[in-house]
């Protein structure tokens, strides 16, 4: 009996010790959830009944506790990259998930339908609650207010034929949340928000582990994960939320194995196999070229000459295989793309023309200049602030690593980025020809499609140097990121507030 009492006391003391150590952080989380929710509720109410100067003042006052607690943690704690990511990403994810209305992200109604009818969907269509169907989802705060006043029944269904073939695993976490919401009788529209926050939580946990585990370019990776478009996707019901987690986790894990000082164990290989499978079956295998990152594991071979021969041997065999497939394949998969590839000179002209004309849009829609349904233009200086932070973070080291990339790493990074970008552009060749009626251009591609691998070209140019001390770079990253998040949320809020 005494042993049981001692164990119980030890558990209680451990819990109390945890609370004392993390009291400030727990208060920070509570302040975000409470203040953001109250501010959002007030803004939605004001979109119908009018906005006064007092309302603006109350919103500013409501943000004060969160800002003060954020500053207190930066000053008080020795902030690691992992903790810094959580401190910044938590309000960003919750704010984006809350302030962007469900009808305000491109094709989100399609992803919502997949979640609500995950195991009942088919290529012929599916039924979803009418409250979350296309054409009913609110696209402004005013519409959101009136939508929530209505009786959101789960039994009043609407038919939709927007079936997508993306894997069930990409929607499973938010599906569990929606099922729970259905069980307790929550309004379907609120269930959409709950599904968003589920994806956001997965991204927050995965992102913190990525920043913690990545052995090199830690500061840059932290800033890259705070990309406004990546945050928007993570705080939505889109399958891209899970795809970004899977692909970036895969890249990080391969880098971790590449620099691991101990021998790679069976358990390490098992985890790698899981990530490879998830990567291969996600979004119609669009990001399978990322498997070429496995080439960097050749660096673990002690015989450098053998590593070089195997590297070029694999690349050469891959080229031969690709040429053979292009010449011999005559199936129904991407027929327009294969027809273009069988005309190599014309393909090069079309591809170079596409890059020349489309790169400004790709660049802007990759790094957060266009938010929401790509109809919210961020303030230019905020967009430039993020780009400057991202590029300069390549030269900052908030934590010691002591590692460096070699030519095999850098070549592999460039190969993956170029091949995957080309594959994505080619996958929309049919759209360009049949919808946009353009034969000399590849259209339909958005920069956000490149988020899973766009960090790799930056890695290729990474050189370890210590321009800033750990303290100064942490402070600069923290407050610049806060400025960007606040500006983004203000822009988003103003956009949906003034829509009818």
**Does residue 92 sit within a domain?**
no
Average pLDDT over residues 324-338: 88
pLDDT at 300 exceeding the cut of 60 = yes
More confident call, 399 vs 391: 391
> Is residue 457 assigned to a domain?
yes
Shared domain check, 202 and 126: yes
Same domain, 60 and 171: no
What per-residue confidence (pLDDT) applies to 390? 92
Q: What residues contact 233, with CB distance under 8 A and at least 6 apart? A: 240, 241, 244, 448, 451
On average, the pLDDT of the chain sits at 87
Q: How confident is the model at residue 261 (pLDDT cuts 50, 70, 90)?
A: confident
| 417 domain-assigned | yes
Q: Is residue 451 part of a domain?
A: yes
pLDDT one-digit tens code per residue, 424-448: 999 889 888 998 888 899 988 899 9
Q: What is the pLDDT of residue 469?
A: 52
Overall average pLDDT of the 247-256 stretch: 94
What is the tens place of the pLDDT at every residue in 84-111? 999 999 999 999 999 999 988 878 888 9
> What are 338-343's contacts with CB under 8 Å, separation 24+?
340/426, 340/429, 341/426
Residues 6+ apart with CB under 8 A from 462: 216, 217, 220, 394, 405
226 burial (CB, 10 Å; 0-12 / 13-18 / 19+) is buried
Report phi then psi at 350, rounded to 5.
-65, -40
Residue 148's nearest CA partner among 96, 191, 195 is 191
pLDDT on residue 470: 56
Percentage of the chain exceeding pLDDT 90 = 47
Could you say which of 60, 77, 94 is where a domain stops?
A: 77
Q: How many residues does the chain have?
A: 500
- Residues 393, 279, single domain; the answer is yes
**325 and 204 housed in the same domain:** yes
Minimum mean pLDDT range among 78-82, 220-224, 233-237, 361-365? 78-82
> Mean of the pLDDT values across residues 339-351?
92
- The mean pLDDT of 246-259, rounded to a whole number, is 94
Are 456 and 326 within 8 A, CB to CB?
A: no
Dihedral in degrees, nearest 10, Cα atoms 416, 421, 426, 428: 140
pLDDT digits (tens, 9 = 90+) for 116-162: 988 888 777 888 998 888 888 999 999 999 999 887 788 888 888 77
- Residue 154 falls within a domain, yes or no? yes
Q: Which one is predicted more confidently, 296 or 81?
A: 296
Q: Are residues 318 and 198 in the same domain?
A: yes
| Residues 62, 177 within the same domain | no
Residues 6+ apart with CB under 8 A from 122: 163
Model pTM score: 0.92
The number of beta carbons lying within 10 Å of the beta carbon of residue 105 is 23
Strand-pair partners of 370: 377
Among 29, 61, 77, residue at a domain's last position: 77
Q: Are residues 200 and 328 in the same domain?
A: yes
Residue 364 lies in a domain: yes
Residue 91 lies in a domain: no
Alpha-carbon distance 245 to 257, whole Å? 18
**Burial (CB count within 10 angstroms: exposed 0-12, middle 13-18, buried 19+), residue 158:** middle
The reply to whether 83 falls in a domain is no
Q: With bands split at pLDDT 50, 70 and 90, how would you rate the model's confidence at 368? A: confident
Task: For the chain, give the secondary structure using H, E and C.
Answer: CHHHHHHHHHHHHHHHHHHHHCHHHHHHHHHHHHHHHHHHHHHHHHHHHCCCHHHHHHHHHHHHHHHHHHHHHHHHCCCCHHHHHHHHHHHHHHHHHHHCCHHHCCCHHHHHHHHHCCCCCECCEEEEEHHHCCCCCCCCHHHHHHHHHCCCCCCCEEEECCCCCCCHHHCHHHHHHHHHHHHHCCCHHHHHHHHHHHHHHHHHHHHHHHHHHCCCCHHHHHHHHCCHHHHHHHCCCCCHHHHHHHHHHHHHHHHHHHHCCCCCCHHHHHHHHHHHHHHHCCHHHCCHHHHHHHHHHHHHCCCHHHHHHHHHHHHHHHHHHHHHHHHHCCCCCCHHHHHHHCCHHHHHHHHHHHHHHHHHHHHHHHHCCEECCCCEECCHHHHHHHHHHHHHHHHCCCCCCCCCCCHHHHHHHHHHHHHHHHHHHHHCHHHHHHCCCCCCCCCCCCHHHHCCCCHHHHHHCCCCCCCCCHHHHHHHHHHHHHHHHHHHHHHHHHHHHHCC
Looking at residue 151, its pLDDT comes to 78
Residue 16 — pLDDT band, cuts 50, 70, 90? low
Nearest alpha carbon to residue 272 among 283, 284, 290: 290
Q: Give the CA angle between residues 369, 455, 483 to the nearest 5°.
A: 40
Dist CA 315 CA 472 (whole Å): 43
Burial state string for 122-138 with b = 16 or more CB within 10 A and e = fewer than 16: eeeebebbbbbbbebbb
In 3D space, the residue among 227, 249, 275 whose CA is nearest the CA of residue 448 turns out to be 227
Q: How many domains would you assign to the chain? A: 2
Q: What would the pLDDT profile of 21-73 be if each residue is shown by its tens digit?
A: 778 888 999 999 999 999 999 899 988 888 777 777 777 787 888 888 888 88
Same domain? 364 vs 281: yes
Q: Same structural domain for residues 249 and 178?
A: yes
Asked whether residue 163 falls in the same domain as residue 239, the answer is yes
Output the pLDDT for position 59. Answer: 78
- Closest-CA residue to 194 (of 226, 229, 235, 157): 235
Q: What is the pLDDT of residue 11?
A: 56
What range defines the domain where residue 11 resides?
A: 2-77
Q: Which residue has the higher pLDDT, 184 or 396?
A: 184
Residues 116 and 72 in one domain: no
- The residue with greater pLDDT, 202 or 497, is 202
Q: Which residues, in sequence order, are bridge partners of residue 160?
A: 126
pLDDT at 31: 92
Res 274 pLDDT > 90: yes
Listed residue (372, 396, 340, 46) closest to 223, CA to CA: 396
Residues 273 and 341 reside in one and the same domain: yes
Residue 477: pLDDT above 90?
A: no
């Amino acid at each position: 009996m005494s042993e049981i009492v001692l164990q119980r006391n030890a558990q209680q003391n451990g819990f109390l010790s945890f609370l004392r150590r993390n009291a400030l952080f727990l208060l920070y989380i509570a302040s975000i959830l409470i203040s953001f929710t109250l501010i959002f509720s007030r803004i939605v109410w004001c979109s119908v009944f009018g906005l006064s100067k007092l309302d603006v003042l109350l919103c500013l006052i409501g943000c004060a506790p969160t800002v003060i607690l954020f500053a207190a943690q930066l000053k008080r704690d020795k902030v690691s990259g992992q903790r810094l990511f959580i401190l910044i990403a938590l309000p960003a994810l919750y704010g984006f998930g809350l302030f962007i209305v469900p009808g305000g992200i491109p094709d989100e109604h399609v992803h919502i339908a997949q979640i609500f009818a995950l195991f009942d969907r088919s290529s012929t269509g599916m039924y979803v609650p009418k409250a979350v169907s296309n054409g009913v989802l609110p696209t402004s705060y005013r519409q959101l207010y009136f939508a929530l006043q209505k009786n959101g029944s789960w039994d009043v269904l609407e038919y939709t034929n927007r079936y997508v073939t993306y894997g069930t695993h990409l929607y499973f976490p938010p599906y569990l949340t929606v099922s729970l919401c259905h069980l307790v009788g929550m309004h379907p529209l609120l269930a959409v928000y709950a599904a968003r926050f589920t994806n956001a939580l997965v991204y927050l946990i995965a992102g913190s582990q990525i920043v913690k585990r990545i052995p090199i370019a830690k500061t840059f990776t932290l800033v890259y994960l705070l990309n406004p478009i990546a945050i928007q996707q993570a705080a939505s019901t889109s399958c891209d939320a899970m795809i970004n987690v899977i692909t970036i986790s895969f890249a990080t894990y391969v880098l971790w194995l590449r620099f691991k000082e101990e021998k790679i164990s069976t358990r390490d290989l098992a985890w790698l196999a899981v990530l490879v499978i998830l990567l291969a079956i996600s979004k119609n295998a669009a990001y399978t070229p990322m498997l070429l990152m496995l080439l960097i594991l050749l660096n673990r071979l002690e015989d450098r000459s053998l590593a070089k021969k195997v590297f070029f041997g694999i690349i050469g065999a891959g080229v031969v295989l690709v040429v053979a497939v292009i010449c011999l394949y005559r199936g129904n998969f991407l027929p327009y793309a294969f027809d273009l590839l069988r005309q190599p000179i014309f393909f090069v002209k079309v591809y170079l023309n596409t890059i020349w004309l489309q790169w400004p849009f790709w660049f802007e829609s990759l790094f957060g200049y266009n938010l929401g349904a790509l109809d919210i233009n961020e303030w230019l200086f905020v967009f430039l602030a993020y780009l400057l932070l991202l590029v300069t973070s390549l030269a900052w080291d908030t934590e010691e690593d002591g590692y460096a990339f070699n030519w095999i790493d850098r070549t592999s990074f460039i190969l993956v980025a170029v091949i995957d970008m080309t594959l994505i552009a080619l996958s929309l060749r049919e759209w360009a020809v049949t919808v946009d009626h353009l034969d000399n251009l590849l259209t339909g591609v958005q920069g956000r499609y490149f988020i899973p691998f766009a960090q790799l070209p930056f890695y290729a140019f990474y050189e370890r140097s210590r321009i800033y001390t750990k303290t100064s770079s942490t402070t600069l990253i923290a407050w610049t990121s806060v400025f960007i998040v606040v500006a983004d949320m203000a822009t988003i809020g103003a956009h949906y507030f003034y829509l009818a």
